Amino acid sequence: MFSRYRKQPASPVDASPAPPPLNKVSKKIAAIDPPKPAHRPKVDKAPPPPRGGSAAARATPADKERKRKERLSEIKVQLHKELLDNLNLSAIENAAESDLKTEITAIASEALNEMGVVLNRDERQALNQDLFDEVKGLGPLEPLLKDDNVNDILVNGPQQIFVERDGKLTLTDITFKDERHLLRIIDKIVSAVGRRVDESNPYVDARLSDGSRFNAMVPPIAVDGSLVSIRKFKKEKLGINDLVKFGAFTEEMALYLEAAVSTRLNVIVSGGTGSGKTTTLNALSSFIDNSERILTIEDTAELQLQQTHVGRMESRPANVEGKGAVTQRDCLRNALRMRPDRIIVGETRGEEVIDMLQAMNTGHDGSMTTIHANSARDAVSRLENMIAMAGIEMPLKAVRAQIASAVHLIVQASRLQDGSRRMVSITEVTGMEGEVISMQEVFRYQRVGLTPENKIVGHFTATGVRSHFSERFKMWGYNLPAELFEPFQP
Ligand SMILES: Nc1ncnc2c1ncn2[C@@H]1O[C@H](COP(=O)(O)OP(=O)(O)OP(=O)(O)O)[C@@H](O)[C@H]1O
Ligand SMILES: [Mg+2]
């Protein structure tokens, strides 16, 4: 009755669906698991305790659990192969989830019956879900992709999958069967977005259809098995209020940032990898007035701006023949001809820096970007380096002058050792003093200690300096109270 998704028999004469060739499976399983009398014991049934102190008697419950898991995973692999042999993959593409689940359950239970394997209800449910994930989704990665608490998924070869929850990396007990299994899933992911990865083209950076950022590198470049990194796309991006609630910064800092963005200061969000730069940039963009025309440029489109008038661009790497690349710089240059009020570059990392600074200096003030750096000073050095690397021959002083007049504010994001993400510093760029760019920190996160549970204790504080942009804020109608800039009093 479920013939819709099963492969049709080769002969058109026999219209009735042929029973699936389950015998194949039983034979393979038999090879793993030696044949037993007709009625096998349940998988979860413990064997009678052997007498005496044999090794089996000392097998701990953990050992038994492990063995049972191994056996279940063997069964799963065989059943999965059976499903692939039997299901009509092109029909599956459009199959309703419930229909497909019913079909998979039917095929699986037929196969289990054939094998004489009895599973309890939970095991059967888990098995059916796993099989469904294998056929329709991304196998072992599927539950992690569904888990909203997981931010990043990092795969180091088939046996190691790490996830990041609450800023902390932990090893999961989820594994792939072997490298081939992992490669198959990688292939499934990249072919769905029209890309290819193989020995001659061993790495790929892509955006998945759900918006998640995906990077994979396969052997032989990845030495111990394929490496995969997924930054999951959050449908609900964290807004300013969420970030304040999570302690990423304070309400006072939010007020200051609102004034800064609204009065069109050029802002750079600086931070390490995964420190929350993109999240912060996205949250800051909410202060932009809805009447403005915003153009965003990213390598992987992650930003989700709330305004009505937004044009999004995504750069593109070269194809296998090395052709067709459209860089962030290309997008940026083109964007300047598209009458933007503001330009947002997801991350400045290369030669686009020069166009970004020029844009900031020439009428597109209020532009924003992120940069990979560990402090405000470091962010400026990174800009200088990027300009040098882009082959621009300019005296250092001129480069600095360019940066000093383009960048107004550097917001430093950081992932602290306890996994918390905080805006550890807000620094204003005030100009040049001789050869040096002068800056002043307005807010900072002050660490004071560590709890016994290794949670960082600290507080945000204003540094006490008056904002360099006070007059500007006032002129634009943002009268920030003086207390905002007063240092924290315990
Ligand atoms: N203050 C915060 N509190 C809790 N989670 C956060 C916070 N800021 C960011 N996150 C989460 O941390 C993850 C990484 O954030 P984000 O992508 O903004 O970092 P990033 O610095 O841009 O990373 P990358 O260097 O990889 O581009 C995201 O899943 C995001 O939802
Ligand atoms: Mg980012």
Ligand nearest to the CA of 301: 2
Least confident of 20-34, 192-206, 232-246, 451-465: 20-34
Mutate to test the pocket of ligand 1, among 249, 421, 423, 445 (most ligand atoms within 8 A of CB): 421
Residue with the larger pLDDT of the pair 139 and 400: 400
H or E element: which one contains 358? helix 352-361
Residue 41: pLDDT band by 50, 70, 90 thresholds? Answer: very low
Look at 81 and 47; give whichever has higher pLDDT: 81
End-to-end CA distance of the chain: 73
Whether 115 has a pLDDT exceeding 90, the answer reads no
Q: Which ligand is nearest the CA of 279, by number? A: 1
What are the φ and ψ backbone dihedral angles of 228, each rounded to 5 degrees? -130, 135
Q: What is the DSSP letter of 384?
A: H
Confidence of residue 68 (pLDDT cuts 50, 70, 90): confident
Residues 299-325: what's their mean pLDDT? 89
**Closest approach atom of ligand 1 to CA 274:** 23
Other C-beta atoms lying within 10 Å of the C-beta of residue 196: 12
Confidence class of residue 291 from pLDDT cuts 50, 70 and 90?
very high
Residue 298 Cα, ligand 2 centroid: separation in angstroms? 10
Element of type H or E holding 426: strand 421-433
For the chain, give the percent of residues with pLDDT over 90.
56
When pLDDT is averaged across residues 368-385 and rounded to a whole number, the result is 96
pLDDT at 288: 96
* Between 28 and 11, residue with greater pLDDT: 11
**278 Cα: distance to centroid of ligand 1 (angstroms):** 7
- Atom 28 of ligand 1, nearest CA residue: 151
Average confidence (pLDDT) over 8-22? 45
Distance from residue 484's CA to the centre of ligand 1 (Å): 27
Whole-number Å distance, alpha carbon 184 to ligand 1 midpoint, is 29
Q: Give residue 5's pLDDT.
A: 66
Q: Which pLDDT band holds residue 8 (cuts at 50, 70, 90)?
A: low
Ligand 2 centroid from CA 315, angstroms: 15
Residue with token string 């030669």: 351
Q: Which of 150, 279, 284 to mutate to test the pocket of ligand 1 (most atoms within 8 A of CB)?
A: 279
Q: Which atom of ligand 1 is nearest to the CA of 372?
A: 25
Tell how far the Cα of 14 is from the centroid of ligand 2, in angstroms. 57
> According to the model, what pLDDT value does residue 282 have?
95
Ligand 1 center from residue 289 Cα (angstroms): 24
Least confident of 317-321, 390-394, 483-487: 317-321
**Residue 48: its pLDDT value, please?**
47
Task: Specify the ligand 1 atom closest to the Cα of 243.
Answer: 1
The answer on pLDDT for 16 being more than 80 is no
Quick one: average pLDDT of 460-465?
96
For residues 365-379, average pLDDT: 95
Instruction: Indicate which residue's Cα is closest to atom 4 of ligand 1.
Output: 421
Beta bridge partners of 297: 313, 345
CB 287 within 8 A of CB 306: no
131 closest CA partner among 155, 104, 168, 111: 104
- Lowest mean pLDDT of 123-137, 294-308, 347-361, 465-479, name the range: 123-137
Instruction: Give residue ranges with CB within 6 A of ligand 1.
Output: 151, 231, 234, 238, 243, 246, 248, 271, 273-279, 421
Closest Cα to atom 12, ligand 1: which residue?
276
> Which tokens sit at 276?
């929350």
Q: Find the mean pLDDT for residues 339-355.
A: 94
Burial 16-37 (b: 16+ CB within 10 A, else e): eeeebebeebbebbeeeeeeee
DSSP structure class, residue 220? T
Q: Give the whole-angstrom CA distance, residue 470 versus residue 481.
A: 10
More confident residue, 32 or 233: 233
**Mean pLDDT value across residues 207-233:** 92
Give the Cα separation of 382 and 387 in Å (integer). 9
Taking the C-alpha atoms of residue 248 and residue 242, their distance in angstroms, rounded to an integer, is 9
Model pTM score:
0.78
At residue 39 the predicted structure's pLDDT band, cuts being 50, 70 and 90, is very low
More confident residue, 128 or 283: 283
Quickly state the pLDDT bin for 160 (edges 50, 70, 90): very high
Which residue from 278, 284, 371, 372 has its CB within 8 A of the most atoms of ligand 1, so it is best to mutate?
278
Q: Whose CA is nearest to atom 26 of ligand 1?
A: 274
Structure tokens at 371: 């940069």
Evaluate if residue 24 carries a pLDDT over 50: no
- pLDDT above 60 for 33: no
Least confident of 49-58, 111-120, 306-315, 324-333: 49-58
Is the distance from CB of 297 to CB of 440 less than 8 angstroms? no
* Burial class for 57, CB neighbours closer than 10 Å (0-12, 13-18, 19+): exposed
Q: How far is the CA of 262 from the centre of ligand 2 (A)?
A: 23
Among residues of the chain, what percentage have pLDDT more than 70? Answer: 87
User: Which one of the ligands is nearest to 270 CA?
Assistant: 1
Distance (Å) from CA 297 to ligand 2 centroid? 12
Mean pLDDT of 410-430: 96
In the beta sheet, which residues pair with residue 214? 206, 230
Residue whose CA lies nearest to ligand 1 atom number 23: 274
- Please state, rounded to an integer, the average pLDDT across all residues of the chain: 85
Average pLDDT over residues 23-46: 39
Quote the ligand 1 centre to 153 CA distance (angstroms).
13
